[in-house]
Amino acid sequence: MSKKYFGTDGIRGRVGEHPITAEFMLKLGWATGRVLGRAGGDLVIIGKDTRISGYMFESALEAGLSAAGIDIRLLGPMPTPGIAYLTRTLHACAGIVISASHNPYFDNGIKFFSRQGTKLPDEVELAIEEELDKPMETVDSARLGKAERVPDAPGRYIEFCKSTVPMSLSLRGLKIAVDCANGATYGVAPSVFDELGADVVKVGTHPDGLNINRDCGSTRPEQLQKTVREHAADVGIALDGDGDRVIMVDSRGELVDGDELLFIIARSRRQQGKLSGSVVGTLMSNLGLEHALQAHGIAFERARVGDRYVLELLQQNGGTLGGESSGHIICLDRTTTGDGIVAALQVLTTMIQDGKPLHELKAGMKKYPQHMINVPVGRSVNLTAAPGVQEAVRAVERRLNGRGRVLLRPSGTEPVVRVMVEGEDEQTVREEAGHLATVVAAAV
């Protein structure tokens, strides 16, 4: 069955437009409570990022869950991976995250974690959607759910993050610029690195409900690059609005993206004999990552775009490490979901253990030039049946001669087909992408 509301990462949209309304969230809380209650659940935790609409949706979800007879624990502003962790340690039957991740403040969304700290199974999401179509009924007053806040939630998560690196690890002597995107990590991320001994320079730690991800964070790292240079920092860490992604900046002010961070962590795990299964990237992972891992005898597999699919493939092949170019890195030997702070700590640990700065660690991977063009389409298209497209793809692949890659991918969020070509020469890549985009545009 296809889902009506849930996408690959929960429910997301513009605030005030269905389904991102207070009315829908009330019903969603109730429907979720009904489904979880039938399975024996009695407690749900709710956390959020810093966007202003979080207050409204937190209250609506709380009311709906209570009407279904479910108790609630409110965490306040907390990173998404922190909510996953606390769902497990508080023995809740589910965790709810109110966040639109890297989107601007006028968007918001809801995503769920199971009692294991992983994404809800499809059958549970479908069951919730089925309840949404029913009239809302409130349980007897004596059975209404109760709500209370968890005042020590940030401290619990800070201690967890610190536990993912060796007890002997000290960041003393390192100056680290930390950009929290004016989002959910603004209170906890600086504390994690400070308590481990680093000299922390804060960026994006003054949320006002409207400035989340605005000219800061992992999607806009220019401010962090400038801060690293001005303060002569050893490294910069840029998180996104909900804290599940990280991009880093080396001491020269150069960006280190998710593919490069994944390579650094994977090589370190391999050297220590602690890497299980294949490393998992996505269809958009740079070809340079694949080649660099192969050079170190590390198997690599590609999943569909989206952390949900990376996690699924890791679970299938028994792997422990995967991620996306955007910086969503999953270390299953440390936690259950993508965690920007935890991933950054793994990289810092490697820097200290190897005695090398970040720019030297990333030098082991050569990124291939990659060019992508979005071709507008007015309808759903079948690229395998589009006239001339597959012939054009094969022609480009022949010209790349095994030293490049072609990807055609209909967007899941926009009416476009993404045409991507990567290879060793930037000019060739751009020319081939332009040629292929023209063929696709004519065919669709």
In the chain, DSSP finds a helix count (H) and a strand count (E) of 14, 18
Copy the structure tokens of residue 349: 């640990």
Out of 53, 66, 99, 101, pick the active-site residue.
Answer: 101
* CA atoms within a 13 Å half-sphere pointing along the CA-CB vector of 306: 12
* Beta-bridge partners for 31: none
Residues 6+ apart with CB under 8 A from 288: 259, 365, 366, 367, 368
> Is the dihedral angle over the CA atoms 111, 113, 119, 125 positive or is it negative?
negative
Look up residue 245 and give its amino acid: R
SS3 content of the chain, % helix, strand, coil (to 5): 35, 20, 40
Measured distance CA(46)–CA(148) in Å, rounded: 11
Query: Active site includes 101?
Result: yes
Identify each DSSP E strand in 241-357 by its residue range: 246-249, 255-256, 279-282, 300-303, 321-323, 329-331
Residues 6+ apart with CB under 8 A from 253: 225, 226, 228, 229
Measured distance CA(25)–CA(150) in Å, rounded: 22
Look up residue 36 and give its amino acid: L
Measured distance CA(88)–CA(92) in Å, rounded: 6
Element housing 28 (H / E): helix 22-38
Neighbours of 237 (CB within 10 A): 32
Catalytic residues: 101
